[in-house]
């Protein structure tokens, strides 16, 4: 096979990159509008490297690296990826492209490389093993079949709404409670709870401007982001991501204010987002949780989610510049 020719990707390549990611792992189609939006709205202080690999003028892979500002990521953690179209995956190509993107990340200062693959991607997993990456964490993936569980979930959502009302907690979509103060309080709730997510890497703070970009994403309509409100305080939120062009519906984020935990509020607000998806005709939703996040794993089990192949992160320590 000819040696791949690799070039930098521009914003106009977002659709191509989305197609390549879809071709690399067809079970999780990537949405081109969402990808372009993310590329157009980078997080403050983050460095991104994006590339397209061609063979005989045909695009075969999307390569990338991403990391936060080095003064906030002091160990030099950097995510890398080589999304190779399935028909072009071979030991030679996978080795070459994963090595190439690793070199770009190291040249940018990375000292710990993090690579990800699904549990049902044996060729990618084998390539990472050959290149010296070690399995680091696993992320459980679950699927909730609404044909099987929809009727029960709708009843549970109604009951949860009544139970929360008796505790003076109102469940409502963001579209019904929009104000500058609402968004600022949601930003604070997000920043306070995201640090609870199990991870081996530091999670840099997200600015309010970046949070507002996230709230404007094309897969996050505000009438489908659910909040729990106590007085004038948002105490929990849960939302699904609805890709506008293609892809599966996934849980985006579910969180609860630490002061309000243990009262079933997170489960109640998540039930509202699931009930809405059922009413919209969505056949199933997927969610992912770190294997060390017992509270969310428990919620998923009680809601009826079934496990499916998850994702595995791998790490490799290197000598940065």
Buried b (16+ CB within 10 A) or exposed e, 86-124: eebbeeebbbbbbebbbebbbebebbbbbbbbbeebeeb
The whole-number pLDDT of residue 126 equals 97
200-212: pLDDT as tens digits: 566 778 999 999 9
Do 5-132 and 141-310 show the same overall fold? Answer: yes
pLDDT of residue 204: 79
CA distance 195 to 215: 19
What number is the average pLDDT over the span 214-239?
96
Query: What does the mean pLDDT of the chain come to?
Result: 93
Q: pLDDT digit string (tens) for 141-150?
A: 999 999 999 9
pLDDT tens per residue, range 257-308: 999 999 999 999 999 999 999 999 999 999 987 655 666 667 777 888 898 9
What class does CATH assign to 5-132?
Answer: alpha beta
Q: b/e for 12-51, b at 16 or more Cβ within 10 A?
A: ebbebbbbbbbbbbeeebbbbbbbbbbbeeebebebebbb
The CATH code of the domain at 141-310 is: 3.40.630.30
pLDDT at 137 over 70: yes
All structural domains of the chain with their residue ranges: 5-132, 141-310
Residue 220 has pLDDT above 80, yes or no: yes
Token pair 């028909």: residue:
87
């Amino acid at each position: 096979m000819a040696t791949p020719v690799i070039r930098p990707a521009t914003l106009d390549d977002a659709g191509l990159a989305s197609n390549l990611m879809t071709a690399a792992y067809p079970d999780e189609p990537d949405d081109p509008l969402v990808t372009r939006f993310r590329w157009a709205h980078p997080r403050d202080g983050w460095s991104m490297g994006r590339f397209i690999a061609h063979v005989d003028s045909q695009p075969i892979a999307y390569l990338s690296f991403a990391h936060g500002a080095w003064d906030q990521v002091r160990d030099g953690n950097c995510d890398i990826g080589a999304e190779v179209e399935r028909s072009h995956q071979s030991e030679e190509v996978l080795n070459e492209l994963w090595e190439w993107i690793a070199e770009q990340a190291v040249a940018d200062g990375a000292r710990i490389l993090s690579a990800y693959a699904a549990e049902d991607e044996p060729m990618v997993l084998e390539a990472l093993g050959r290149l010296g990456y070690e399995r680091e964490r696993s992320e459980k993936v679950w699927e909730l079949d609404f044909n099987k569980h929809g009727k029960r979930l709708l009843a549970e959502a109604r009951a949860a709404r009544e139970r929360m009302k008796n505790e003076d907690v109102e469940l409502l979509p963001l579209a019904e409670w929009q104000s500058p103060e609402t968004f600022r309080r949601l930003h604070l709730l997000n920043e306070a709870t995201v640090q609870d997510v199990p991870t081996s890497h530091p999670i840099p703070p997200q600015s309010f401007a970046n949070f507002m970009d996230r709230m404007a994403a094309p897969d996050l309509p505000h009438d489908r982001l659910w909040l729990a409100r106590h007085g004038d305080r948002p105490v929990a939120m849960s939302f699904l991501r609805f890709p506008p062009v293609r892809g599966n519906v996934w849980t985006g984020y579910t969180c609860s204010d630490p002061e309000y935990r243990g009262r079933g509020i997170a489960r109640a607000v998540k039930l509202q987002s699931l009930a809405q998806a059922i009413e919209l005709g969505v056949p199933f939703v997927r969610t992912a949780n770190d294997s060390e996040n017992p509270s969310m794993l428990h919620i998923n089990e009680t809601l009826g989610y079934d496990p499916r192949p998850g994702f595995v992160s791998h790490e490799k320590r290197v000598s940065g510049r």
